[in-house]
Amino acid sequence: MSDVRDSIARAAKIARRDPDDIELIAISKTHPADAITPLIAAGQRVFGENRVQEAQTKWPALIAAHDDIALHLVGQLQSNKADDAVALFDCIHSLDRSSLVKALAKAMDKAGKQVLCFVQVNIGEEEQKGGCAIGDVPALLDQARGADVPVIGLMCVPPLGIEPAPFFALLAKIADDNGLSQLSMGMSGDYETAVMLGATHVRVGSALFGARAQQSQPV
Ligand SMILES: *Cc1c(COP(=O)(O)O)cnc(C)c1O
């Protein structure tokens, strides 16, 4: 973990940013609780999962033992899981459509709990990918504002296999155009680049936990 933190600090320094402005989210998907507890013992407190159901099996016990843990949802969310997601997570990175704004508004209202959200943008305009189309971002933000769903920034997963920097820069520009200050971007292979381009939240899995089985790739 200290290697990743050092790399974040190095990238921040190059960009003349304060490393404390960058949240390292340890993405623990597919890894069991006993792979997670060493990171908690080392001081890591912010974790991410991509499936509600998997998180429900692992996290309640860990959170009961460490009540200062923050849990982020970074994977696609079905509207029928909105109640469960609001109950367990402190932040949702995958708000990407109108029906989900409605479902989350209802779930937050019912639970009496506000969960901070990022709007996920399909930054490479890829067919199979989650995320709101670039052109639909302003309308989705308007809808979220009207529904009292707190959106703090934008999130993206750039296309695989090509240089991610232009996509990070584009996400930063769209956030700026829409008055948003937070950027959830950068994974194990590209978080330093993301930090240099303004990421405030990096989502790092394999660089912290080691490789995963091929399933559960980000979409
Ligand atoms: C799995 C996942 C990550 C972490 O990926 P690594 O390459 O293991 O760092 C980040 N973001 C999302 C949305 C993911 O699903």
pLDDT of residue 216: 63
Distance of CA 110 from the midpoint of ligand 1 (Å): 30
Distance of CA 170 from the midpoint of ligand 1 (Å): 20
Query: For atom 12 of ligand 1, which residue has the closest CA?
Result: 218
Ligand 1 proximal residues by C-beta, below 6 Å: 27, 29, 50, 74-75, 157, 187-189, 203-207, 218
Task: Record the pTM.
Answer: 0.96
Distance of CA 105 from the midpoint of ligand 1 (Å): 26
Tens of pLDDT along 157-214? 999 999 999 999 999 999 999 999 999 999 999 999 999 999 999 999 999 999 887 6
Distance of CA 28 from the midpoint of ligand 1 (Å): 9
Domains of the chain: 2-209 (3.20.20.10)
* Of 50, 124, 133, 142, the residue nearest 96 (C-alpha): 133
**CA 73, CA 91: separation in Å to the nearest integer?**
6
Residue 218 pLDDT more than 80? no
Position in ligand 1 atom list of the atom nearest CA 191: 9
Q: How many CB atoms lie within 10 A of CB 25?
A: 23
